[in-house]
Structure 1
Amino acid sequence: MPSQSSSPEAAIVGGGPAGLIAAEILARAGVAVTLYDRMPSAGRKLLMAGRGGLNLTHSEEFERFVARYAEARPQLEPLIGVFRPADLRAWSEGLGQETFVGSSGRVFPKAFKASPLLRAWLGRLDALGVRFALRHRWQGWDDAGHLIFTDAAGETVRAKPEATILALGGASWPRLGSDGGWVEPLSRRGIAVSTLRPTNMGFLCPWSEIMRSRFAGEPLKRIALTFAGITVKGEAIVTQDGIEGGAVYSLSARLRDAIEQDGSALLHIDLRPDLPHETLLRKLDTPRKGQSASTFLRKAAGLSPVGIALLREASPALPTDPEALARLIKAVPLTLTGTKSLERAISTAGGVPFSELDGHLMLRRMPGVFVAGEMLDWEAPTGGYLLQATFASGIAAARGVLAFLGIPDAALTLGPSSATRQT
C-alpha cells in the first residue's frame, strides 16, 4: 500500500455497514480513508440488528432474491450481482465468523450476534490504516467545497478530500446515528430527495380497552396475513396501539401506501392457515356440550386466547353458525389506520433517487461525491435483503471512487475467503 502522504484521500461520512465496507475497499486499494460518524463508535445500528441474531442475507436462489427489491431491482441487481449472498458469507467467514442457514433460509453468523464480527471488522480496518473521526456531525459543504463537521467540542472541522462517500443511513432509530439530517444539506445543493418514510414497521389500529390491557405483547403464531391479493405466512405481535412483526413487515410497503392514499387499509388474518376451510368447518360443526365460546374455540379450532380476542374485536357477538365462524377464523378483518413512527421503523423508504446518480452511484451534479446504503431510494423486506443491498451499494460506491480517482480495482478483494466478482 502506498504511504498515507502519497495516497489519494477519500472521506466516508457514516459508520454503518455501507460506510465500513466502502472504507475497506478503498483502504485495500491504497486510498487514505477518513471515516466520519456523529456517534462515539461505529456500527451501532449493526449491533442493534445483531440483537435478533444478525440476519446477514438469504440463501434463496438469485432470481427470487433480487425480485424482493421490487421497483428498485433494475438499479440494485447489478450491484448485488457483484457482491452476492455467497460473497457476503465468505467475507464474514474471512473475519472468523462462520455462517449458517436457518430453517427459514435466512443466513446468520454462528455466534448469532453482531459484536464479534464488528470487533474483527474494525480491527481489520485499523490494520488497513483507516482513520476514524468520531463524534463529528456532518453539516454539508462550505462555499469552497469543503466538507463541514461539528466535533464533540462544538468546533467546526473542515476537510477537502479528493472523493467523498455519503453513507449516513435513513432516518429510523436516530439514537443510533441515522437521523435523516443529511436531507437538508443535499437539498441546498439542488439534489432531489424523495420523502423519507417508514418501512418494515408496525401499524396502528383501534383496539378495544380489553385488547390493549390484556393482550399487548402477545404473539400471534403460525398465522397468515393477506392484503391486496398477497398472502404472507409468519408471526405478528399485538401492541398497545396496533400490530407489528415479521409477517406484517413483509406487507408494510403495500399497507403504508394504501393508508397514505385511502386513510386506512383492511388486513385479513388467517388464524389457522394450516387447516383448509372444509377441515376447520368439520371441527367447528360439533356439539359444544355446554362449553363457553372461548373453551370451544380453544379445543375445536386450536385457537390461542389472543386469537380468540382478535375474533371478538372483529365480531363481538361471535357467529354460532359453523360456516360463518370458519370464514371469520380464516379471514379476520383488521382495519389499520396509520403507520408507527419512522423513528421506530426497522428501515427507511425514500432518499436519493437513482436518477440523481450515475452508474457508479456518483451524484451527477457533484462529481466526486457518491451515495450508498439506506440514503438511496429503495426498500426491501426483512430477511437479509436490507443488509445485502447495503453492503453491495457500499462496494459499488467505493469502486466508483476508484474509477473517479483512476485507480485500478482489478485486485479487489475483501479478505482471504472472499469470492467477490468483478464487473
Structure 2
Amino acid sequence: MTDAVVIGAGPAGLMAAETLGKAGFSVTVAEAMPSVGRKFLMAGKSGLNITKAEPSATFLAAYGDQIPTALTTALHQFGPAEVITWAEGLGQPVFTGSTGRVFPTVMKASPLLRAWLARLNSLGVEIETRWRWEGWHGDTLVFETPASMRTLSPEVTILATGGASWQRLGANGHWARHLPESVAPFQPANMGFSVNWSDHMGPYLGAAVKAVALTAGDQTSRGEFIISARGIEGGGVYMVSRAMRDGAALTLDMKPDWSHDKLRNALNKPRGKTSLSNHLRKVLKFTPVQSALLAEFGRPFPDDLTTLIKTLPVTHAGPRPMDEAISTAGGIRFDALTDDLMIKHKPGVFCAGEMLDWEAPTGGYLITGCLATGAMAGAGAVRFTRQNGVVSAS
C-alpha cells in the first residue's frame, strides 16, 4: 500500500515526491526508464543551469505573454530564490554568471541528483525503475514491469511523465493516449531549424556565430548559435524559436551595437581593389562566418549594404523534427486542471512538469518551471487528501 504514486522521475516528479514525503506520505515513484533523471543529467552535461537570477517580471515574461495563472502562481511560490535555497540545502553551492544564469559550483548535475536521491531515501520514498505506466483500469493504475503487470491504488497520483522529445531519454508523449480529452497537440520548442546550405557554407559547418542579434516577431536574442550540417541551432535560436515556429520571419542584425549611420559611414570608406569580404573584415571587424552568412542570405547585394547587414533575412525550411527539440509545447491543457494542477475529471490525479502545456526558453527557465510545478502538484495532493480525510499524514 502507498499513499501516493508519482509517475516519472525527472525534476518535476522528484520534487513532487519530496513534497509528499516531507508531509509524511508513503510515496512510490514509478519510472519507465532503467534509471532516474536521464534528461536532467543530459541537461547538465555542459553545465547545469538550474535557474535565472533576474527581476520577477522579467523572469515571468520568459514564459510568454499568456502565461497560465496556475504556472504564474507556481513560479511565485517556487521561483529562482527557492531553487537556489533548495540546491544549497542539498549541499550544492551555486554561483551566478554574468548573464544571471545560476549553476552549481561543480557545474555537473550528477552530484545534485545523488544528494537529492539520498534525501528522498531518507524520507522513505521508494523508486521503481522499468515501470511503464499503461493507464488506468477503473481507478487503479496499471504498470508494465520486468516481472509482470502491476497495479496500484494510491489515494493520490502525480503524473510527471515529460513532454514528447528526446525519446531515448524517456520523454515520448505516449502517455497522452490515456488523457486524450485533456491534451493540446505537441509542438517542438527550443529547437533548431533546417537550412539547405549552399556548397560554399561547407567550411563553416560547426562554427559558432557570435555578436549578432536574432529577431523573430517581437522576440530578440543576443545569444550565439551554431551552423550545423542540418541548419541552425543553439541558445540564440532557441530564444526566438517560438515566434519562428509560429510563422515569424527570422532576421539577423550583424552589427547590433552599431547605428545605421555608423554602419553606413564605415561601409563608405574607400575600398579600392580590396574584396568585399576583406573590406567588411577591415571596417566592420566581420568574422569569416559573418561574411559567409551575408553572402548566403544576402545575394544579390544591393548598392547600400547597411539595411541588409542590420536585417539579414534567414531562409529556412522549418523546425527540425520534434524528437530533436530540447522541449515541447502542448500537453495537458491548463483549462483541464484546477488551480493546484489536479485534473478536473479525475479527482486526486495531479500533473506537473513538461507534460503541461507551457513552454519557456533554455537558460534555467525550463528546470525552474518543472521544479515549481512539481512542488505545486505535490502540495495540492497533500491538501486534497487532508480535505477529504483519506490520509492522516503529520
TM over 0.5: yes
The C-alpha deviation readout for 1:22-46, integer Å capped at 9, x for no partner, is: 1111111111100000111111111
Q: Secondary structure at the match of 2:146?
A: coil
- Structure 1 residue corresponding to 2:108, chosen from 96, 110, 113: 113
Deviation at 1:100, TM superposition (A): 1.1
Task: Tell me the equivalent position of 1:122.
Answer: 117
**Does structure 1 residue 278 correspond to structure 2 residue 267?**
no
State which of 3, 9, 13 in structure 1 corresponds to 2:3: 9
For residue 262 of structure 1, what is the aligned residue in structure 2? none
Corresponding residue SS for 1:22: helix
Contact 2:220/2:239 (<8 A) preserved: no
Whether 1:131 and 2:114 are equivalent positions in the alignment is no
> Could you say what secondary structure the match of 1:300 adopts?
helix
Counterpart of 2:207, as a letter, is E
Partner of 1:339, secondary structure, is coil
Q: How does 1:177-326 map to 2 (within 5 A)?
A: 177-187=170-180, 191-211=181-201, 213-258=202-247, 265-319=248-302, 321=303, 324-326=304-306
Query: CA offsets, 1:341-365, max 9 Å, x none?
Result: 1111111100001111112211111
Cα shift at 1:117:
0.4
Cα deviation, 1:29-70, whole Å, max 9, x if unaligned, reads 111100000111111111111112111111111122112222
Pick one of 67, 83, 86 that aligns with 1:72. Answer: 67
> Within 1, Cα distance between the matches of 2:289 and 2:130?
45
Any conservation in 2 of the 1:267–1:333 contact (CA below 8 Å)?
yes
Question: How far is 1:229 from its partner?
Answer: 4.1
Q: Distance in 2 between matches of 1:174 and 1:116?
A: 24
Equivalent AA in structure 1 for residue 176 of structure 2: V
Q: SS of the counterpart of 1:298?
A: helix
Extract unaligned runs of 5+ from structure 1: 259-264, 413-423
Q: Where does 1:166-181 land on structure 2 (aligned, <5 Å)?
A: 166-181=159-174
The code of the aligned residue for 1:195 comes to: P
2:325 to 330, 333, 345: 345
Counterpart-to-counterpart distance in 2, 1:192 and 1:246? 31
Contact 2:7 2:159 in 1 (8 A): yes
C-alpha offsets along residues 195-216 of structure 1, whole Å, 9 cap, x if unaligned?
01111111122321222x2222
Aligned counterparts of 1:164 and 1:278: Cα–Cα separation in 2:
61
1:102-135 per-residue CA deviation (whole Å, 9 max, x = no partner) reads 1111111111111110011011111111111101
The equivalent residue for 1:157 is 150
Structure 1 residue 286: Cα displacement: 1.7
CA deviations 1:227-249 (Å, max 9, x no partner) are 22433222111122321121211
Which is further off, 20-29 or 73-82? 73-82
- Look up the SS of the partner of 1:182 in the other structure: helix
CA distance in 2, matches of 1:109, 1:23: 22
2-structure distance, mates of 1:86, 1:225: 30
TM-score by length of 1: 0.88
Q: Distance in 2 between matches of 1:15 and 1:145?
A: 22
The unaligned stretches of length 5 or more in structure 2 are none
1:139 is paired with a residue of what secondary structure? Answer: strand
2:141 aligned residue: 147
What is the number of equivalent residue pairs in this alignment? 388
Q: Is the 1:72–1:379 contact (alpha carbons within 8 Å) kept by the matching residues of 2?
A: no
User: What is the rounded CA distance, in whole Å, between the counterparts of 1:149 and 1:135 in structure 2?
Assistant: 9
| Counterpart-to-counterpart distance in 1, 2:117 and 2:28 | 13
Cα separation, 1, equivalents of 2:284 and 2:348:
62
Pairwise CA distance, 1:317: 4.1
Q: CA RMSD in A?
A: 1.7
Aligned-partner Cα distance in 2 for 1:316–1:225: 19
